[in-house]
Amino acid sequence: MTNSRQSSFRRILVTRILLLFVPVLLVGEIVALNKARSSILATARQNLTESAISKAEKTVDAIALLKAHLLSVSKTTVIPSILPLEEEEILKQLRQQLPGSIECVQLTELLSQKIIASDCGDEVIGDLKYPLPSDGIDVKAVFPPKSGMTGKRNRQNQLQLVLSAPVSDRRKNLVYSLSIKSALYQKTTNRPGSLTGAMVVIAEDGTILAHPLTGWVGTNIEQHPNASQLKSIIKNAIAGRNDSINLSFEDRELVAGYTAIANPLSQQHQQKWIILAVTTVDNALFGLEEIKLILIVLTVGLIGASLLASLYLAPYLASPVEELRDYALNIHSHHAAQPVPRNFKIKEFDQLAQALDQMVQRLKAGAEELETAWKEAKSANQVKSQFLATTSHELRNPLNIIINCIRLVADGLCDDRDEEVEFLKRADETAIHLLGIINDLLDISKIEAGKLSVVTAPLDLRQLLLEVINLQSVNVQQKGLQLKCELGTEPIPINADAAKLKQVLINVIGNATKFTDAGSITISTEIEYINGKSQAVAIVKDTGIGIDPAQQHKLFRPFVMVNGTTTRQYEGTGLGLAISRNLIELMGGTITLESVGLHQGTTVKITLPLIDISLLPISNKQRNAGDLGFSSGNDGVKVSRQPSPQESGRTVAVGINKSEKVGVDKKNSAKLQQLPGKEIYQISLSPQQTILLSLPKGGVYANGTSQR
């Protein structure tokens, strides 16, 4: 179920791109603005420093130019001392010789300070007295009248100077004093962004000679709150540094460049004027506004571009995920032929689709396996029920026989002692049969628990087969079957557990006997060479009921009998082959079962690794089995050791009833089959019962060995 708080992949992709891109843009804009501000401010400070130096040079040059003009006029002008002078005429003559920037001119008598001619008002502006200056020119600054005092105040003119020089009469006597008044700096309004700055002139003693605020002119820096900063500027400038500094003025931030020049008002050149070019920080950063506007436009454009890019990329990246999601959500309703979405033009999504396809195929295969396993489990459950019914039948019948036999003897219902012995013998045989069933159940439980083990040792497979044949010959005789033995003449050395292997052989030959009603049972051996390894093969072939090839794979499962309706007439629990397979595999071998079909007989092959014959015990190598004896009747078949052919005249003793001997003569016995190194002879136990033995040429078998 989808959580309402969850978001789609497409929305997450768009928001994540924007959340990542927008902060980066904003941070980049802030960094760019700070960098631009620092760069512009550094440029402004450098420009203001250069402007201060330029203003200082212009100030020095302007004072020098005024002095030169005044000195030239004072040297060339001759004022008559006797004739009456016309004031206007004198001023006109003087004006013609002086620059037009001169504010006013005044001519006074040197001694009496009487004004001869003046356009500066009635007040004497000059202060030339004896002794005269060395260069003949006296310079002094004129400060504007203070607030509350009378006098004309020109707010545009800054740093007004009065220069006075003596003027001679016709007799070359210094009778007059010529004074001129001029403003070195006129306050102007700079356009925004201009970095020339406003001019501020401060004397070394702290007197402000020029300032944008007229009220500050003539005051001392000690009277102002930023005196400490101004003192540091004066100190640095006197030390010869041309630099810039940030100033705080009321609520405004200023930046100023400064330099120092010699005081032009004093003959002592060690005194200095400090020239400053000052402007506001906002004016210095005037170009930053344009940069900021450009960055804002660029940021908005990039954010819009990122939004468009994210909206374009989101479907491109989300569509494959959504298609795979839809396929995965609706996979239960898809037809098997419908393929997984592919060709997304993105390698990772194609790989994901391939992995999903493989997963689906594995799930389908797993589902099929589960269905098969379910059917097998269902079949196994039926087999289990059948096994319980069969096992209960197999256990109940022997128990009933044992109980009935014992009760007949215990209740004295037998006619004589022989009948009692017969019932007790039958009970004993039935108990042994019951014990075999229980042993099979215990063995299969040990196999399933992984606790069944074998103890292997070198042994002769041929000799072990002969022993089993001796044990099983009674059952073969009772069913009137032909027993064909093709075991060769040489020992077959293998490494196995004798008791467990004998159990397997008894089970296999017993099954062949049980499921064969007519015909023969052939027991033979072969040596196979596979991949450079030698293997011994014991083959048990019968002409019995056979097995359907489609059912053969079930035979080695516990509790399984292929056709319960057909095999119900035969006793058994279905554990024999399962136990046999596990025992043979524990000994490093294999067991297989083959059948062409029903009523076509069955072939069982037991394969075990072959070992060196030198590993066999010496007694097995040199052992010479004598004759093979059989007996029939109620006593069953008995196998006994007989004399050698030299001792018995080459006879095979077959005991019937009381172990009567039956001679076997190779010449008189009917040869049924000629094999390389072997001859098969038919031995008749009764008119209806025959056993075929394969004997080597030139001798007669006695327990499987020959005397040539």
Residues 558 and 580: beta-carbon distance below 8 Å: no
Q: Report which DSSP code applies to 539.
A: E
Which residues contact residue 24 at a Cβ distance below 8 angstroms, ignoring those fewer than 6 apart?
Answer: none
Task: Tabulate helix, strand, coil % of the chain (nearest 5).
Answer: 45, 20, 35
pLDDT (0 to 100) of residue 649 = 34
562-588 b/e (C-beta count within 10 Å ≥ 16 → b): beeeebeeeebbbbbbbbbbbbbebbe
Higher pLDDT, 373 or 328: 373
Write down the number of H helices and E strands in the chain: 13, 21
What value does the mean pLDDT take over residues 467-474?
82
- Average pLDDT of the residues in 441-466: 76
> What average pLDDT does the structure give for the chain?
75
Three-state secondary structure string covering 308-360: HHHHHHHHHHHHHHHHHHHHHHCHHHCCCCCCCCCCCCCHHHHHHHHHHHHHH
Instruction: Give me 101's structure tokens.
Output: 């920037």
Please indicate whether residue 502 or residue 624 has the higher confidence score (pLDDT): 502
Check pLDDT > 90 for residue 539: yes
Q: Compute how many other C-beta atoms are within 10 angstroms of the C-beta atom of residue 270.
A: 9
pLDDT of residue 2: 52
> Which of 222-236, 397-411, 521-535 has the weakest average pLDDT?
397-411
Give the pLDDT confidence score for residue 269 in this predicted structure.
Answer: 54
Averaged pLDDT for residues 591-601: 87
562 has pLDDT over 60: no
- DSSP class of residue 207 equals B
498-514 helix and 461-478 helix, angle to the nearest 10 degrees: 30
Of 262, 283, 257, 287, whose CA–CA distance to 272 is shortest?
A: 262
Return the half-sphere exposure (C-beta side, CA atoms, 13 A cut-off) of residue 553. 2
- Give the pLDDT of residue 558: 62
Cross-strand pairs, 207: 220
Pairing of strands 174-186, 104-109: antiparallel
- SS3 call for 653: coil
pLDDT at 523 over 80: yes
| The amino acid at 216 | W
Q: How confident is residue 366, by pLDDT bands cut at 50, 70 and 90? A: confident
Lowest mean pLDDT among 179-183, 193-197, 506-510: 193-197
Q: How far apart are CA 194 and CA 51, in angstroms?
A: 11
37 CB contacts (<8 Å, ≥6 apart)? 285, 288
How do residues 327-363 score in pLDDT, each as one tens digit? 777 776 655 456 777 777 777 777 888 887 888 888 8
At 522 the pLDDT is 93
Distance between CA atoms of 58 and 158, rounded to whole angstroms?
A: 14
Strand stretches in 434-589, DSSP E: 457-460, 482-486, 493-496, 520-530, 533-542
Q: Work out the average pLDDT over 540-550.
A: 86
Average pLDDT over residues 481-505: 87
Confidence of residue 579 (pLDDT cuts 50, 70, 90): confident
DSSP assignment of 386-446? HHHHHHHHHHHHHHHHHHHHHHHHHTT--SSHHHHHHHHHHHHHHHHHHHHHHHHHHHHHH
Residue 277 has pLDDT above 80, yes or no: yes
Q: Assess whether pLDDT exceeds 60 at residue 695.
A: no
Q: 622, 668, 132: which is closest to 681 by C-alpha? A: 668
- The residue with greater pLDDT, 440 or 209, is 209
Per-residue model confidence (pLDDT) at position 524: 93
**Quick check: 63 and 266 in contact, CB under 8 A?**
no
Q: What CA–CA distance (Å, rounded) separates 84 from 264?
A: 37
Please report where in the chains the tokens 């700070």 appear, as a residue: 34
Tens of pLDDT, residues 85-107: 577 777 888 888 888 778 888 88
pLDDT of res. 379: 78
Q: At what angle do helices 417-449 and 576-586 cross, to 10 degrees?
A: 60
- pLDDT, mean of residues 106-133: 82
Instruction: Give the separation between CA 107 and CA 148, rounded to whole angstroms.
Output: 30
CA distance 478 to 491: 30
143/541: higher pLDDT: 541
Residue of 524 and 78 predicted with greater confidence: 524
602-609 vs 590-594, strand pairing mode: antiparallel
Comparing 383-387, 457-461, 607-611, the range with the smallest average pLDDT is: 383-387
Cα-based distances in Å from 6 to 9, 63, 406: 10, 82, 82
What is the chain's Cα-based Rg?
68
Q: Mean pLDDT, to the nearest integer, of 685-693?
A: 41
Rounded to the nearest angstrom, the gap between the alpha carbon of residue 265 and the centroid of all alpha carbons in its chain is 84
- The pLDDT value recorded for residue 657 is 31
Q: Quote the percentage of the chain above a pLDDT of 90.
A: 6
